[in-house]
Structure 1
Amino acid sequence: MRSINEQELNHVRKMLERGIVQNEGTGLLHFTGYQNTTLYDWDQYFEGIVQLYAGWDTKYMINAIKIYLQYQEQNGFSKRAIQNGYSGEEDYEMVKPFLSQLVLLCYSKDGNLDWVDHEIFVRLGKSLDYWLFVRDENGNHLSKWRSSVETGMDDQHERGGVWKSDFCEGVDLNCYLYRECLAYAKVCEYKFEKILAQKYRKYAEERKTAVQTMWDEEDGFYYDRDERDGKSIKVKSISCLLPIWAGISEKDQVRRLVYEHILNPMEFWRPFPLPALAASEPGYSPVHLEGDIGCNWRANTWVPTNYMVMHGLMDYGYRDIAGFIAYKTKELILKSGDREYYLTETGEGTGLDPFWGWTLLGYFMEMEVEDNYNPMKIE
């Protein structure tokens, strides 16, 4: 098991220094892994973990939360991509439900939430409620994505749809919401709002139960659901492995996911696991297909999704498999450098070059397996 050394840690610190930019609308400094200075939603959470490993304080994470909340509309909506001087389709996409989880990450470093005043606290709740209720029109406790771009897995439109499709009840989204409800409940407790905390724990349990209805017993897999007809969207995406990470799956379900899918060389156990799509999918391609936009989430390996699955496997006792995923993820970086994502079949780096965003997590994964440490735990 390789662990991060001092030279690699210093490299990570130097890379992070490139990412400090100022948001024009608020004047606040924040971190971004992107040369175009865009503030992205779930990126902040995973990049925040790297910042803590680098010895940084929490100011850039806190500022990211404040920026999203200052852009918040009356109904709780905040756009997912906040870019200086930009306006476009992404303005209609909602910030992913990671804000309260990011608050807890800050708490893990600071030991207090003094900066969470009444306005911030209320706005965190409004952001979560937007997802829980505005995006759950049929009241089945499964919220929906607007498009594949909003999922963050930009070109997986066969499951998430194109711009403003509004039909995909995502397994990934509802796993995020389960954790976000638990995280906001913890924030409520820290702010002495015990009744409110109980309410959001109830919402979390409702999500957990609903995600389990997305399990396909015959295939041994979770599938997204089409809100329009209630049918499963039978696309095997890495996003549908996230009930393991969220702690929603039963042990027997995890066993099937591991042995029938994760370790299946015809699906996710490719030369550099884990691809964003199973190799059995028609859309498994190292390059964009017709109609694709954004980054490639097909025959490509991304560090943050490997990171989530790795921790889920650790939690369920599959430490050896988790360790191998960590090993192969680090191998990608050592082979091809700090890139936005990598070709699953060859390990070749692609996307932004260099990339100082969430890919840097790959330097720390083996260490976390070795130490049995999970910075994402919601106690």
Structure 2
Amino acid sequence: MTNNEIFEKSRKLLHENMVRKKEGNKVIYHYTKPSPDTYPYQFFWDTCFHVFILCNLDEFGMAKAHIKSLISFQKEDGFLGHMIYWDRLKPGRWVDFFQSKPRFKNLYKSHMSALIQPPIIAMAVERLINKSGDIAFLKEVLPNLKKYYQWLQENRDFDGDHLLTIISPFESGMDWKPTYDQIFNFRGKANAELFVKVVAVDVRNFINNYNLKKIHQKDYFQVKGAGFNSIYAQNLRAMSRLCDMVEDNDANSYDELANKVEKSILQIMYHEEDAAFYDCYGKDNTHLKVKTPTIFYPLSLETIEKSIVKKVIEKHLIKGEDFNTAFPLPSVAISEPSFNPKESIYIWRGPTWIVNNWFLYNVFLNNDYKKEAAKIADNIRTLIEKSGFREYYNPFTGEGYGAQDFTWAGLITDMISKKDT
């Protein structure tokens, strides 16, 4: 498959999965479904991924419409949920019902979930501005971005250590991530027991009306993710650069906060002996020692020493076998008891996801591992040629699993674009 064929397949898919509603001359919403049937809503970080892909396709108008649709539902205090239901009011899964605040009035009105997702919107907008040069659009949306990141800082930094806490496994963007098994006193392959324990977290949050003070006090599930907070730090840097573009005085404050977040990631999450950045949980910041691709996410941060970057990459990717499959990266190390490379409703527990490779690709590029970066891009191209645009893939055989015509696979366009520059 040529580069042009991949780009055109991505373009066709994003247009086919596009959902748009107008009333008169006013656009009510405009977004792309990650897949035609499985995921019909507007998802937060999926929308951001779509913006990256659309920018590679020079579809700037559509990218701006996606961002405007996402922030149009923003709460006055700055909150943005991980799903906007728009006119598709029935949850795709019954468990999704517990991911929104209890609703007894206006049941058939468009609404937004009470959960968050990795806060990558600033980087998406930065890519859009860098590619389109549309400073007027930046000035239009920057106040919304500021309110959003302020909400995160004020409402999810539970412990005052500058790290954000998630209150549900579904906030990580990696729903059944085996990192959390320790919290649930669970070990091994996912089953109905784990299902009940995970869903119970959202049920408790629902019963508490998603009151963050109550949830923090009860401490059912509180995790500081290495991947989640690395994305947060990267986006604070992006906010600083966006502010600089319009000579906004807040640029320095975002850089200063990013420095504090990165310092905490290093101090709290890095395990020197294991050479890995682990998620932490609870008031004691207990390390969740499960090796998943997010152990690599902090390696793109500006203040992480190159010696640490080299140590982590050498141990786990160059010399180690844990992620060494025919089609890396498996979503958990093959040595972990939770590892299952096959299709399952319990996703992120073995199969390869393109988004993890996309993050690692950027880690490699940022740290001058160009040969390794090129290998990742080639592997993803082979996966797509073999099995098409799928949600995830078998890390040994490359067989495609999950949703079909899944848009995230279009992130290969980002790797190709960077490889060609």
Aligned partners of 1:273 and 1:125: how far apart in 2? 36
Paired residues of 1:273 and 1:344 also in contact (CA < 8 A):
yes
Paired residues of 1:341 and 1:350 also in contact (CA < 8 A):
yes
Cα separation, partners in 2 of 1:300 and 1:24, compared to 1, 3 Å: farther
From 402, 406, 409, the counterpart of 1:359? 409
Aligned partners of 2:338 and 2:90: how far apart in 1? 30
Aligned partners of 1:142 and 1:216: how far apart in 2? 17
From 151, 156, 162, the counterpart of 1:135? 156
Match of 1:340, SS?
strand
The Cα offsets for residues 76-131 of structure 1, whole Å up to 9 and x where unpaired, read as 2221112332452341211431222121111012213212456x433211211222
Aligned partners of 1:326 and 1:124: how far apart in 2? 31
1:111 aligns with 2:117: no
What is residue 101 of structure 1 aligned with on the other side? 123
Aligned partners of 2:237 and 2:417: how far apart in 1? 26
Cα separation, partners in 2 of 1:95 and 1:66, compared to 1, 3 Å: farther
From 89, 98, 101, the counterpart of 1:89? 98
The alpha carbon displacement at 1:186 in A equals 2.0
Aligned partners of 2:238 and 2:117: how far apart in 1? 16
Cα separation, partners in 2 of 1:280 and 1:66, compared to 1, 3 Å: same
1:305 aligns with 2:359: no
Cα separation, partners in 2 of 1:347 and 1:76, compared to 1, 3 Å: same
Aligned partners of 1:156 and 1:267: how far apart in 2? 16
Letter in 2 for 1:365: M
Cα separation, partners in 2 of 1:21 and 1:246, compared to 1, 3 Å: farther
Letter in 2 for 1:16: L
- TM-score when normalising by structure 2: 0.79
Mark the runs of 5 or more structure 2 residues left unpaired by the alignment.
92-96, 100-112, 184-197, 203-219
Match of 1:30, SS?
strand
- TM-score when normalising by structure 1: 0.87
Aligned partners of 1:334 and 1:85: how far apart in 2? 36
From 4, 7, 10, the counterpart of 1:9? 7
Aligned partners of 1:254 and 1:24: how far apart in 2? 48
Cα separation, partners in 2 of 1:366 and 1:63, compared to 1, 3 Å: closer
The alpha carbon displacement at 1:363 in A equals 5.0
Match of 1:232, SS?
strand
What is residue 377 of structure 2 aligned with on the other side? 326
Letter in 2 for 1:31: T
Farther-moved stretch of structure 1 (359-368 vs 92-101):
359-368
Aligned partners of 2:379 and 2:353: how far apart in 1? 12
Aligned partners of 1:341 and 1:330: how far apart in 2? 13
Aligned partners of 1:131 and 1:115: how far apart in 2? 23
Structure having the higher Rg: 2
Aligned partners of 1:24 and 1:267: how far apart in 2? 49
Aligned partners of 2:367 and 2:28: how far apart in 1? 43
Paired residues of 1:276 and 1:297 also in contact (CA < 8 A):
yes
Letter in 1 for 2:79: F
Mark the runs of 5 or more structure 1 residues left unpaired by the alignment.
374-379
Paired residues of 2:52 and 2:128 also in contact (CA < 8 A):
no
1:31 aligns with 2:82: no
What is residue 283 of structure 2 aligned with on the other side? 228
Letter in 1 for 2:259: E
Cα separation, partners in 2 of 1:115 and 1:55, compared to 1, 3 Å: closer
Aligned residue runs from structure 1 range 66-215, under 5 A: 66-83=68-85, 84-86=88-90, 88-90=97-99, 91-117=113-139, 120-156=141-177, 158-159=179-180, 162=198, 163-164=201-202, 165-194=220-249, 196-213=250-267, 214-215=269-270
Paired residues of 2:164 and 2:224 also in contact (CA < 8 A):
yes
Aligned partners of 1:56 and 1:276: how far apart in 2? 31
- Percent of residue pairs identical: 25
Match of 1:137, SS?
coil
From 46, 49, 59, the counterpart of 1:56? 59
Farther-moved stretch of structure 1 (26-35 vs 16-25):
16-25
The alpha carbon displacement at 1:23 in A equals 5.7
Cα separation, partners in 2 of 1:264 and 1:366, compared to 1, 3 Å: farther
Aligned partners of 2:282 and 2:350: how far apart in 1? 27
Match of 1:89, SS?
helix
Paired residues of 2:316 and 2:322 also in contact (CA < 8 A):
yes
Farther-moved stretch of structure 1 (172-181 vs 10-19):
10-19
